[in-house]
Structure 1
């Protein structure tokens, strides 16, 4: 049975070497034989452009192609796949925001290249890489700054996704308190918005914020 996308991501995250040896036939055969609508770049080129090894890319590709035979995934399919990660909550809104972040070409679909480029930054990127990616996720209208409303939309979607059983003592206003705490620290010139420089500078200086940012390790 081919690995699911969830299993493939887990392999890339934890470098489970057992997986590498279970899948011995060449993924290049899949590239040649598959009749997908979108053909990804060669593994060698993707290896040069990301921080994944060729073995990791092979496993990720198998999982991606198993879930997305056409070679691309649209938003509705992305939401369906992502919901399997968090069955205890409603992940649809967060999956929407995440899809927008992965869809760098803004063409309504995410290719294998889009997927691994984003995943490489999130899992293997430098602190600056990851913070820039997170800022882009929060900046919903892509105008170069984050408002309280944008951050609150993201926070609400994360709490909804995690589900009530994950936070048994969580109050309804928890996302609002989270955002207010973030903005108090990040909005350095008190103009009501957070710029990329403020965002990165605040995250690097505040250990609590950095720990909060680790939430992305769990929701990606």
Structure 2
């Protein structure tokens, strides 16, 4: 999708500039009018032009009223806050929305991988899988965590199935390929697909 998250972009303004519109049109499948519509909604909810972790969690909690969103939101927020400044600006927000809703399966699974890669080392280990599966259970209010629903068991089982090279870690390629081949694992690790 061409996310230029590594570059510093001037997003401090609450006004949408022609440069931002052009950037977002290039890096999403949204039209200019759709981008402007998203921006109006974002600014209504975040008048400073920044979405902080607390507000992000509050929004998630509205979608999952019976769950506990805090743990999951920490991982999701850190994934969407691509410049690491502790807030999500409109560009980061729309790029994340686009990737999760418009991207092809590889892009969406790549975003899921980035969320699971808590350490940021380009690999996922069993501990990271266990933490995120537990956070996902908390989010949806899942309390049955016994037997084959235990997060440690699930993490070990997923690792066994997807770890092609046997190094006890999943590369992005192993993760994406494995999720595409196994719909059950994809439902666990990327339920929105």
The TM-score normalised by the length of structure 2 is: 0.83
Alignment match, 1:180: 156
Residue pair 1:147, 1:192 contacting (<8 A) in 2 also: yes
CA drift of 1:206 comes to: 2.1
1:199 and 2:183 correspond? no
Residue pair 1:94, 1:161 contacting (<8 A) in 2 also: yes
Residue aligned with 1:216, SS: coil
Residue pair 2:13, 2:49 contacting (<8 A) in 1 also: yes
Residue aligned with 1:73, SS: strand
Unaligned runs of 5+ in 2: 1-11
Alignment match, 2:145: 171
Q: How many residues align?
A: 178
Unaligned runs of 5+ in 1: 1-35
Match of 2:112 among 121, 134, 137: 134
Alignment match, 1:49: 27
| Gap change, CA 1:215 and 1:145, over 3 Å in 2 | same
For residues 67 and 158 of structure 1, what CA distance do their matches in structure 2 show?
25
Alignment match, 2:121: 143
Alignment match, 1:120: 98
| Gap change, CA 1:151 and 1:213, over 3 Å in 2 | closer
For residues 80 and 111 of structure 1, what CA distance do their matches in structure 2 show?
17
Superimposed CA distance per residue, residues 100-133 of structure 1 (whole angstroms, 9 cap, x where no aligned partner): 0100001111001000101111111112111211
For residues 106 and 130 of structure 2, what CA distance do their matches in structure 1 show?
23
Decide which structure has the larger Cα Rg and report it. Answer: 1
